[in-house]
Amino acid sequence: MITQRELDVFKRDGFLLLKNVFSAEEMSAFSRKGRSHPGTNNAGTSLTLIPELAPLIGDDRILTMAKEILGPSASFFFEANYIHYAFNPGGRIKGHLHHDGKGTPDHLFNRLHQTFAEPYPVMRIGIYMQDTASQSGGLKVCPGSHLQDTSTFSEGQFSFFDVPSEPGDAVCFCLRTLHSPFALRRRHAPDDALAPWEENSLYASQPDTFLPIPEQRESIFIDFAEAQTLSDLHIKSRAIHAGNKKPGLSNFLKDGGLDTIPALDSVGLRFDFAIIDAMREVINHVLDGKIQRSGLEHLNHLMVLCNRNAEYSGYFPFTPAVEKRSYSVSESINVLNQLIKRYQSYSEMFATRNGDPHMEESFRPIK
Ligand SMILES: O=C(O)CCC(=O)C(=O)O
């Protein structure tokens, strides 16, 4: 249970560190299950593809955090990953400051930079499996940046904080909070956080200034959204982006994956990612312009997903209205074609986005 004081901290700072949510045994089990899954090294793997970890999405503590922070309309949209990096000694990835608030009413792929009175309605729960309190390698945030204009900023406008997460803790952060991975802590001032670009330049000349980054770095990230316009834009912006494919998601759902996570019934669900994956499944079964018999189950499943998906705004409508009844093949193909047309037209918008170069590289202040 999150206290009112903690909720106020989240609202003010844009993040919240919750201590000892998981036991040491659970943490080792998460790590063992994640690592035993092939293909997770230096990559993110969707929790739905790791059957032993998938139930974590519906863990009561996770869902309670989401609902208490975002309110009763908290929804899961199938962004949940286990990420494992294995470094050689001294290896690291450079920190880069950014936030993940994307999708404006004018443009599906632009980043949202204006000031806000309330936190952005999409949040991430991060579970870091290594100790990032007495080592480098954790999450850096700019407290309060989620409410401020981040289109550009002056030096000193934001302060930095390296979240001291220890195994068992959960870090909840608003996706509009400026943050950077792989924070470096200085040996002589471990709690005095630097800007990522300061770390990067100091590291280049004096790497030993910093406490080491663990050679294994594992994290689990699970995102939730409140049912409202900006979340709708965020979800579509993430899903309709060719770089964010979720292979296997449609089959996971088709083959009853949700039945293994019954507690997910207590939150809303968005199926945009799954719909796009189901479209790909159907298209994989098209030969000479015709859907093969083997594609029909995917086509039927696509209709089920469309029926279950309710968008939260009228911006960039994606999912066609599909009733809960059986559809003929030609009716279903019409729905598929509508989806393909919308997907293509929104994908083409990607090239016209505001390139936001500060965010794409390291976000530096104006002096
Ligand atoms: O890996 C991390 O600590 C943060 C990852 C990140 O940048 C993000 O969640 O957008």
Q: How far is the CA of 214 from the centre of ligand 1 (A)?
A: 16
Tell me: do 319 and 192 sit in the same domain. no
- Residue 338 makes CB contacts below 8 A (sequence gap 6+) with 320
Do the domain assignments include residue 361? yes
Residues contacting ligand 1 via CB (< 6 Å): 100, 124, 139, 179, 181, 219, 221
* Residue that is last in its domain, among 162, 193, 225: 225
Do the domain assignments include residue 350? yes
Tell me: do 35 and 152 sit in the same domain. yes
Do the domain assignments include residue 34? yes
Q: How far is the CA of 333 from the centre of ligand 1 (A)?
A: 39
> Which tokens belong to 81?
């990953």
Q: What is the mean pLDDT, run by run of 10 residues, along the chain of 367 residues? A: 96 98 98 88 88 96 98 97 89 88 96 94 98 96 95 84 98 97 97 94 94 93 98 98 93 96 96 98 94 96 98 98 95 97 96 76 60
- Residue 48 makes CB contacts below 8 A (sequence gap 6+) with 54, 57, 78, 80, 246, 248, 249, 252, 257
Tell me: do 190 and 109 sit in the same domain. yes
Tell me: do 277 and 220 sit in the same domain. no
Burial of 47 (0-12, 13-18, 19+ CB in 10 A): buried
Among the atoms of ligand 1, which is closest to the Cα of residue 139?
3
Do the domain assignments include residue 232? no
Among the atoms of ligand 1, which is closest to the Cα of residue 100?
10
Do the domain assignments include residue 127? yes
Q: What is the DSSP letter of 253?
A: H
Inter-CA distances, 306 with 102, 133, 223, 325, Å: 23, 44, 21, 12
Tell me: do 221 and 143 sit in the same domain. yes
Smallest CA-to-CA distance from 125 within 162, 81, 73 is with 81
Tell me: do 50 and 152 sit in the same domain. yes
**Does the reported pTM lie above 0.85?**
yes
Smallest CA-to-CA distance from 78 within 178, 208, 225 is with 225
Q: How far is the CA of 240 from the centre of ligand 1 (A)?
A: 20
Do the domain assignments include residue 25? yes
| Residue-range definition of the domain harbouring residue 39 | 4-225
Do the domain assignments include residue 241? no
Tell me: do 193 and 114 sit in the same domain. yes
| Residue 88, pLDDT score | 84
Tell me: do 75 and 177 sit in the same domain. yes
Domain CATH for 32: 2.60.120.620
Tell me: do 18 and 164 sit in the same domain. yes
Smallest CA-to-CA distance from 97 within 367, 356, 358 is with 358
How many structural domains does the chain have? 2
Q: How far is the CA of 86 from the centre of ligand 1 (A)?
A: 16
| Residue 153, pLDDT score | 76
